[in-house]
Amino acid sequence: MTSEQMELAGQYVLGLLDGSELAAFERAMADDAELAKAVDRLQAHLQALDDTATPQAVSPGLWAGIEQRLDAPPAYVNIRQQRKPGLSRVGRGNWMAMAASVVVALGVGYLAGSFGTGQRQPVMIAVLLNQSDAMPGAIVEAFADDSVRLLPLEQFSVPEGQVLQVWTLPDPATGPVSLGTFTDPRAIRLAGPDLPAPQSGQLYEITLEPAPGSPTGKPTGPILVKGFAKAPLS
């Protein structure tokens, strides 16, 4: 699959294609079994991400923050009006532009990761939310070999002399375990220590620590993003 097909697949699942673009993509799926399967996997993957979301109270500054991030004034829509169980293609006007772009980024990143690793599938997925405004800040894909694939969704600020450290909580009795550190917010793979198989509901988080990592072996700095794992649909 090309990067353009990956992007179109994400837009198709979200219902952001219409007219001639929609017709052309549906013809392409009819002629390309691999593309059709990729769309099915993406729908299942985004459903798993959707299931991890916990309802949050809307903060007073939410709309002001959206206005600052969008070039054009936002269209205020009732996103609950046509919300149906499960994730399906919906009308363009029922998604805020920011929400759509975040989910497309997640979906395209997932497809790129899948096709770049021999279609190796994660056993757990966690969407890590920003602690200040509950917006998605990163996604973690946990694999059976104790490695994780991290896809940052925001440009974390890393002051000189500090690093970003990824943690998980496989067992409350043992406490948080470090999966590795990084300084460049980009898609990376970390080879974690020998741990029990990832479980649904397992905590993942990223903290800011002094270089080369936490001096205590446990989180000491501020938590930037955190979330709980859920198994993707097969």
Per the CB < 8 A criterion, the answer to whether 203 and 195 are in contact is no
Q: Is 35 exposed, middle or buried (0-12, 13-18, 19+ CB in 10 A)?
A: buried
| Check whether domain 121-234 has CATH 2.30.29, yes or no | no
Q: What is the pLDDT of residues 27-47, one digit of tens each?
A: 999 999 888 888 887 776 666
Closest CA to 5 of 107, 153, 150, 118: 107
Q: Place 84 in a pLDDT band, splitting at 50, 70 and 90.
A: very low
DSSP β-ladder status, 147-152 and 188-191 = antiparallel
List, in order, residues 6 or more apart from 103 with CB less than 8 Å away.
10, 14, 46, 49
pLDDT at 153 over 70: yes
Per the CB < 8 A criterion, the answer to whether 187 and 113 are in contact is yes
Domain with CATH 2.60.40 in the chain: 121-234
Phi/psi of residue 127, each to 5°? -95, 120
List, in order, residues 6 or more apart from 157 with CB less than 8 Å away.
none
Task: Give residue 225's pLDDT.
Answer: 93
225 bridge partner residues: 130, 206
Phi/psi of residue 51, each to 5°? -70, -20
User: Letter for the amino acid at 43?
Assistant: Q
State the chain's mean pLDDT as an integer: 75
Task: Give residue 49's pLDDT.
Answer: 57
pTM: 0.56
DSSP β-ladder status, 136-142 and 124-130 = antiparallel
Per the CB < 8 A criterion, the answer to whether 181 and 209 are in contact is yes
Q: How many Å separate Cα 21 from the centre of its chain?
A: 26
